[in-house]
Amino acid sequence: MKKILVANRGEIALRVMKTIKKMGIKTVAVYSEADRNSPHIKFADEAVCLGPAPSNESYLKMDKIIEVCKELGVDGVHPGYGFLSENAAFAELTEKNNITFIGPRSKAIEVMGSKLAAKETVKAYDIPMVPGIDEAIEDVNKATQIAREIGFPILIKASAGGGGKGMRVVNEEKDLEEQMKRAISEAKSAFGDGSVFIEKYVASPRHIEIQVLADTHGNIIHLVERECSIQRRHQKVVEEAPSVVLDESLREKMGNAAVKVARSCDYVGAGTVEFLLDENKNFYFLEMNTRLQVEHPVTELITGVDLVEQQIKIARGEVLEIQQEDIKINGHAMELRVYAEDPLNDFLPSVGNLETYQLPVGENIRVDNGFEEGMDVPIYYDPMLSKLITYGKNREEAIQLMIEAIADYKVEGVSTTLAFGKFVMENEHFKSGDFDTHFVKKYFTPEALSKKNQAEAKLAAKVALARYLQEKKLLKTPH
- State how far the Cα of 432 lies from the Cα of 445, in Å rounded to an integer: 20
CA 172 from centroid of its chain's CA atoms: 32
Q: Which of 369, 351, 457 is nearest to 413 (CA)?
A: 351
**411 vs 416: CA distance, rounded Å:** 8
Closest Cα to residue 214, out of 265, 283, 145? 265
N-terminal to C-terminal alpha carbon distance within the chain: 73
Q: Which of 73, 125, 123 is nearest to 99 (CA)?
A: 73
Select which of 291, 337, 366, 395 is catalytic. Answer: 291
Q: Catalytic: 15?
A: no
Phi-psi region of 307 (alpha: psi -120 to 50; beta: other; left: phi over 0): alpha
In what order do the strands lie in the sheet containing 220-232? Answer: 283-289, 269-277, 206-214, 220-232, 235-241, 332-339, 384-392, 365-369
Among 295, 302, 303, 306, CA closest to 332: 302
Helix axes 106-113, 115-122, angle to 10 degrees: 110
For 340-399, strand residue ranges (E) read 341-342, 348-349, 352-353, 356-358, 365-369, 376-377, 384-392
Cα–Cα distance, 16 to 45 (Å, whole number): 13
Give the residue among 74, 62, 8 at the shortest CA–CA distance from 40.
Answer: 8
Catalytic site residues?
Answer: 291
